[in-house]
Amino acid sequence: MPKKRSPETSRVLVVEDDDLVRLCAVEMLEDAGFTVVEARHADEAWFVLHERTDIGVQFTDVDMPGTMDGLALAERVNENRPDIRLVLTSGRHRFKDREVPDHGLFVPKPYEACQVIEAIHNAV
C-alpha cells in the first residue's frame, strides 16, 4: 500500500460545488502554503484523481450534485487511492471522525482556516 504523503509536499484537492465557498477554501489553503487543485463536484474530482498522481489530500464537501456525493467520493478514494488523506466538511450533516473513510476527519461548516489546516495535518 502506498504511504500517505506529507500534506506540505503534496497538493490538496478541494471539492466544493459552491463557487464562493470553493474560492474561499482555496485562498485559505494557499495562504497557509498549500498548493491547491479545484473540482466543482465529486465526478470532476474523480476525473482529476485519474489524471494526477500528486494529490495527497482531499478536502471535500458532502452535499454535491452529480452521480456521487462527497462521502461516496471519499469511500471510492479510500478504496482506489489509499495514499490520499481525507477531510470532509458539511453544513447540513455531522459526522464523527470514525465515520469518515480511512481514518479521515470531519470539519463542520462554517469552519475556520485553522480547523481545516489542523484536520489536514492530522488525517491519517
Q: 96 and 79 in contact (C-beta within 8 Å)?
A: no
Helix, coil or strand: residue 55? strand
- The 10s digit of each residue's pLDDT in 37-55 is 999 999 999 999 999 999 9
Q: Is residue 87 part of a domain?
A: yes
Residue 118 has pLDDT above 90, yes or no: yes
Q: Is residue 2 part of a domain?
A: no
With bands split at pLDDT 50, 70 and 90, how would you rate the model's confidence at 2?
low
Task: Tell me the residue type at 13.
Answer: L
CA dihedral 58, 62, 65, 68 (to 10 degrees): 70
Domain that holds residue 14: 7-122
Q: Is residue 106 part of a domain?
A: yes
- The 10s digit of each residue's pLDDT in 65-104 is 999 999 999 999 999 999 999 999 998 888 887 888 888 8
pTM of the model: 0.91
Q: Is residue 99 part of a domain?
A: yes
How many independent structural domains does the chain possess? 1
Residue 75: which region, alpha, beta or left (left: phi > 0; alpha: psi -120 to 50)?
Answer: alpha
Whole-Å CA distances, 89 to 9, 43, 51, 95, 101: 22, 17, 24, 9, 13
Question: What pLDDT was estimated at residue 9?
Answer: 65
Q: Which three cell numbers, joined as nine digits, stand for 13?
A: 484537492
User: Which candidate, 45, 24, 27, 46, places its Cα nearest to that of 35?
Assistant: 27
CATH number of the domain that 55 lies in?
3.40.50.2300
